[in-house]
Amino acid sequence: MRPSAERSSQLRWRQVLLSFLLSLFRGALPDQIRYSVPEELAKNSVVGNLAKDLGLSVRDLPARKLRVSAEKEYFTVNPESGDLLVSDRIDREQICGMKPLCILDFDTVAENPLNIFHVAVTVQDINDNIPLFKQRKIDLKIVESTKPGQTFPLDPALDLDAGPNSLQRYHLSDNEYFDLAEKQAPDGRKYPELILKHSLDREEQNFHQLVLTAVDGGDPPQSGTTQIQIQVIDANDNPPVFSQDVYRVSLQEGVPRGFSVLRVTATDQDEGGNAEVTYSFHNADEQVEQFFNLDKRTGEITTKNDFDFEVASSYTLGIEAKDPGELAAHCSIQVEILDENDCAPEVIVTSVFTPLPEDSPPGTVIALMKTRDRDSGENGDVYCRILGKTDFLLKSYSKNYYKLVTDKALDREEIPEYNVTIMATDRGKPPLSSSTTITLHITDVNDNAPVFQQSAYLVHVPENNAPGASIVQVSASDPDLGPNGHVSYSIVASDLDPRALSSYVSVSAHSGVVFAQRAFDHEQLRAFELTLQARDQGSPALSANVSLRVLVGDRNDNAPRVLYPALGPDGAALFDTVPRAAQPGYLVTKVVAVDADSGHNAWLSYHVLQASEPGLFSLGLRTGEVRTARALGDRDAARQRLLVAVRDGGQPPLSATATLLLVFADSLQEALPDLSDPPTPSDPQAELQFYLVVALALISVLFLLAVILAVALRLRSSSSPAPWGCFQPGFSSKSEPRVLPNYSEGTLPYSYNLCVASQSAKTEFNFLNVTPEVAPPRDLLCEDASWVPSTNHGDTEGPLASDTILKQAPPNTDWRFSQAQRPGTSGSQNGDETGTWPNNQFDTEMLQAMILASASEAADGSSTLGGGAGTMGLSARYGPQFTLQHVPDYRQNVYIPGSNATLTNAAGKRDGKAPAGGNGNKKKSGKKEKK
């Protein structure tokens, strides 16, 4: 036991020294790292720090992805510490069999950058197997005539261990006749031989029993035993003899089953039954009996199974020839298996880096692979290539390793997936090959911007469209995948006001449909332009813009609007005068109309719908000019009425009407009597208004009568008869106009005298300006003293006292209204300080017509200029609703027919208000005079 312990201690020191030397000189052995471990090591046992031995930093291990690449992984690498760990059971006898040196070769792969390291782990044998004999009992028959020194080979014991732990020696139990010798077979195995020391005597002892022990070299050593039973038989003097002790045969590994390998022959010089020889396998293992057959009679050896050079390259057969006298001879046959190219090369893919981004640069490593061919020589020499034309290259990396790299830039949109076939071929005759296919998926990169189907969009939208309706759909395509190809739409620019853009249009971010948010109006917005953007969801996002021009089409939704002639403030039609001597073709007036539509919808035509005298006037179809078609006849009425229709060119057409009141007269005074309209059909509302007006007029008359009566009583009690002068018989007002020298810019008085000529068929009136600064009354009423009335009470005759005039009532405030209260063009525009004349003929004639109408009412005693607040005496003629708010301020330097006085807004000057400039343009008709 002591020598065994010393050998075990020396073995351990050798292992430690080997590991130390390997770690010390690992820099000098860059191609391979070697370790030594005993077999049957526990799982997860540490073999060594591989990362440290490779010169790798522990911090870099996660990025380098250090791992073991082997067909069967007995080892693994701890990713955190870099230790090489045992991952599976290591049985040296199972892995290496009877080989004296058992080495596990494998590769380790590290990425980023890619490195391959070769590692060899020597598996040390431990004494885990005991020597075993094939038979627990060996029966021998020895002829008593056998001479001493004769040897009898015995079946060896089998110990699966190797090295010092394998079978070392045999020893035989003590006896008198036999001794033991150890022999070594050509394959290195030891087998025992029994040696006869002394001659046997069957009659003295015919049976011998011995114990054979096989001992290995382990510490402690293990052993196995078998019993040898020897029967002593009668003599057979001559044993069989082989022609040679060793036979050598070579076989191709591809020979068929039943192929004759060799026929052995042994001869026996005995005669008869002792010369009959039988053959059998002797001292053969299981593989021999598995692959070979032996004919016991003829000694012919044939194949029993297919050979594989890669499994076993040679076999040793022990043959025994024995005669009936149990005399035997032995020989051995060495069978060598010749290699054939019967193994196709293999391509083993160790790493595949997929999926691969399409923007990977040329030279990017895609896969790592190695080749293997179990044949030898040229039959095992392998080269690889790529089948077909691809975008990849195959480069030799080291020894039997290859790496697959990209040859040019990739485009997923063109080829989204590659099937790369790698073929490995050996150099045998004929060559064998095999192939493997690597499927490589290309991942998408956002390298394509969205593309619109059109370079620009133009869409026509009719006006008055329904809000929320779609007007157009834009579409952009993106060949990328996933979010890189998902397109969303938005409005990025417009020629509309940014604050109002959202109230006009919107775009669906997903479908690209553009919606109208409101009904468009061609008259307000005829066209607008949008800039739409299509944007993908990649990182970074790519986008494209396109312009969208929207043209709002016109519809006939606006009827023509008549600008001239316009209605008066009370809604009554205005009139125009035509000279009686107007010749044919005389331009009477012009109907002016506009249409907010455009194109044919705004093409206006003028038509006469109704005329008092159909042939008297002509109307321009496109111009709207009203001209006389012939001269006025004696039978033609002085007042003519035309109803004009203005139509546009739309479908269906829209129209508007205008009424023209034309009066043939040479002057305004001549035209006034013809202004009354024929009675119109009674209207309940109009009649009610009429009765209200009549009631108001009666109340006003009664009030005025009461006031006049009170004033008359007061004046009667006074001594001055001047206020009654105008009511004396025979008195009348002078029709000659007279202008006071100091009142060129004055205003009409707010208390006045009215004189009526009883013989006159027509009423004429004068407005007289009377203020404290005026001349005596005689200068106003009469040119001589006949205008001064006398009293019947005997009072002193003399001129009208000026103090009586000075006591007249203060100015009526009805004439004083602000600039904002003045309607129409006169009240809406600023005038100068001194006032101006109306700026056209229509304003002047309108003013004359109103003044004459008021004067006529005053002559009839039904109304006065001061009849109501703000009415200017026009309430009885034009209704209570017609106040100064509806009448332009025509009091600015207006000429009064029959008088040299002018209407000047002196009250406005006193109030500090600037008079408004006259800007009226029409004469008022007498539609409501009958009321």
Q: Note the residue count of the chain.
A: 931
Q: Which whole number is the average pLDDT over 616-624?
A: 92
What's the pLDDT score for residue 633?
86
Beta-sheet pairing, 456-462 with 543-553: parallel
Q: Which whole number is the average pLDDT over 683-699?
A: 82
* Confidence class for position 619, pLDDT limits 50, 70, 90: very high
**Planar angle of CA 697, 702, 705, nearest 5 degrees:** 120
Q: Is the pLDDT of residue 840 over 70?
A: no
What's the pLDDT score for residue 637?
86
Report d(CA 270, CA 267) in Å as an integer. Answer: 9
What's the pLDDT score for residue 751?
38
Edge to edge, what strands does the sheet with 207-216 contain?
Answer: 137-143, 223-233, 207-216, 167-172
Q: Number of helices (H) and strands (E) in the chain: give both, helices first.
A: 14, 54
Residue that the structure tokens 């007061």 belong to: 714
What's the pLDDT score for residue 626?
93
Q: Is the pLDDT of residue 743 over 80?
A: no
Q: Which whole number is the average pLDDT over 52-79?
A: 86
Q: pTM for the full model?
A: 0.44
Report d(CA 650, CA 665) in Å as an integer. Answer: 40
Q: Which whole number is the average pLDDT over 277-303?
A: 89
Residue 545: both structure tokens together: 């813009």
Report d(CA 528, CA 627) in Å as an integer. Answer: 44
Of 408, 420, 417, whose CA–CA distance to 355 is shortest?
417
Of 878, 875, 874, 887, whose CA–CA distance to 920 is shortest?
887
Q: Which residues, in sequence order, are CB contacts of 704 under 8 Å at separation 6+?
A: 864
Report d(CA 427, CA 341) in Å as an integer. Answer: 9
Q: Which amino acid is at 442?
A: I
Report d(CA 328, CA 309) in Å as an integer. Answer: 33
* Confidence class for position 671, pLDDT limits 50, 70, 90: low
Residue that the structure tokens 């208004």 belong to: 689
- Cis geometry, peptide bond prior to residue 741 (ω within 30 degrees of 0): no
Report d(CA 24, CA 580) in Å as an integer. Answer: 139
pLDDT in tens, 572-607: 677 888 898 889 999 999 999 999 888 889 899 999
* Confidence class for position 690, pLDDT limits 50, 70, 90: confident
Element (H, E) at 594: strand 592-594
pLDDT in tens, 109-131: 888 888 888 999 998 888 888 88
Q: Which whole number is the average pLDDT over 879-901?
A: 37
Torsion of the alpha carbons at 683, 684, 690 and 696, rounded to the nearest 10: -160
Q: Is the pLDDT of residue 860 over 50?
A: no
Report d(CA 326, CA 274) in Å as an integer. Answer: 9
Report d(CA 379, CA 252) in Å as an integer. Answer: 14
Check if the beta carbon of residue 597 is closer than 8 Å to that of residue 523: yes
Q: Is the pLDDT of residue 71 over 60?
A: yes
Which range is least confidently modeled, 118-122, 237-241, 442-446?
Answer: 237-241
Residue that the structure tokens 């970074």 belong to: 540
What's the pLDDT score for residue 570?
67
Alpha helices in 682-763 (DSSP H): 684-717
Check if the beta carbon of residue 331 is closer than 8 Å to that of residue 246: yes
Q: Is the pLDDT of residue 771 over 90?
A: no
What's the pLDDT score for residue 145?
80
Of 452, 382, 437, 447, whose CA–CA distance to 404 is shortest?
437
Q: HSE (CB half, 13 Å, CA atoms) of 17?
A: 6
If one compares 351 and 817, the residue with the highest pLDDT of the two is: 351
pLDDT in tens, 787-826: 333 333 333 333 333 333 333 344 444 433 343 333 333 3
Q: Which residues, in sequence order, are CB contacts of 426 under 8 Å at separation 6+?
A: 341, 344, 345, 373, 375, 378, 379, 380, 381, 382, 432, 433
Beta-sheet pairing, 223-233 with 137-143: parallel
Share of the chain above pLDDT 70, in %: 71
Check if the beta carbon of residue 133 is closer than 8 Å to that of residue 214: yes
Residue that the structure tokens 């499994």 belong to: 311
What's the pLDDT score for residue 494?
93
pLDDT in tens, 388-397: 888 899 988 8
Residue 97: both structure tokens together: 């069999």
Q: Is the pLDDT of residue 87 over 80?
A: yes
Alpha helices in 740-818 (DSSP H): 777-781, 802-806
Which range is least confidently modeled, 286-300, 715-729, 871-885?
Answer: 871-885
**Planar angle of CA 458, 461, 462, nearest 5 degrees:** 150
Of 899, 887, 905, 892, whose CA–CA distance to 815 is shortest?
905
Buried b (16+ CB within 10 A) or exposed e, 386-397: beeebebebeeb
Q: Is the backbone of residue 414 left (phi > 0), alpha (psi -120 to 50) or beta?
A: alpha
Report d(CA 576, CA 578) in Å as an integer. Answer: 7
Check if the beta carbon of residue 132 is closer than 8 Å to that of residue 159: yes
- CB count within 10 Å of CB 106 equals 17
Q: Is the pLDDT of residue 475 over 90?
A: yes
| pLDDT averaged over every residue in the chain | 75
What's the pLDDT score for residue 572?
67
Element (H, E) at 320: strand 314-322
Of 281, 283, 161, whose CA–CA distance to 224 is shortest?
161
Check if the beta carbon of residue 374 is closer than 8 Å to that of residue 310: yes
What's the pLDDT score for residue 437?
92
Please classify residue 564 by burial: count the beta carbons closer than 10 Å to its beta carbon, then call 0-12 exposed, 13-18 middle and 19+ buried: middle
Check if the beta carbon of residue 875 is closer than 8 Å to that of residue 867: yes
Report d(CA 765, CA 877) in Å as an integer. Answer: 17
For residue 286, the 8-state DSSP code is H
Q: Nearest 5°: phi and psi at 431?
A: -70, 145
Alpha helices in 801-884 (DSSP H): 802-806, 824-828, 841-859, 875-878
What's the pLDDT score for residue 699?
94
Residue 37: both structure tokens together: 């471990």
Tell me, rounded to whole angstroms, the distance of Cα 581 from its chain centroid: 81
pLDDT in tens, 312-331: 888 888 999 998 878 889 99
Task: List Cα–Cα distances, 606 to 590, 609, 647, 691, in angstroms.
Answer: 11, 10, 7, 40
Residue 721: both structure tokens together: 């008869």
Which range is least confidently modeled, 365-369, 478-482, 529-533, 680-684?
Answer: 680-684
What's the pLDDT score for residue 354?
84
What's the pLDDT score for residue 545?
95
Q: Which amino acid is at 797?
A: E
* Confidence class for position 684, pLDDT limits 50, 70, 90: low
Report d(CA 612, CA 597) in Å as an integer. Answer: 32
Q: Which whole number is the average pLDDT over 461-470?
A: 92
Q: Is the backbone of residue 240 left (phi > 0), alpha (psi -120 to 50) or beta?
A: beta
What's the pLDDT score for residue 676?
52
Report d(CA 141, CA 231) in Å as an integer. Answer: 5
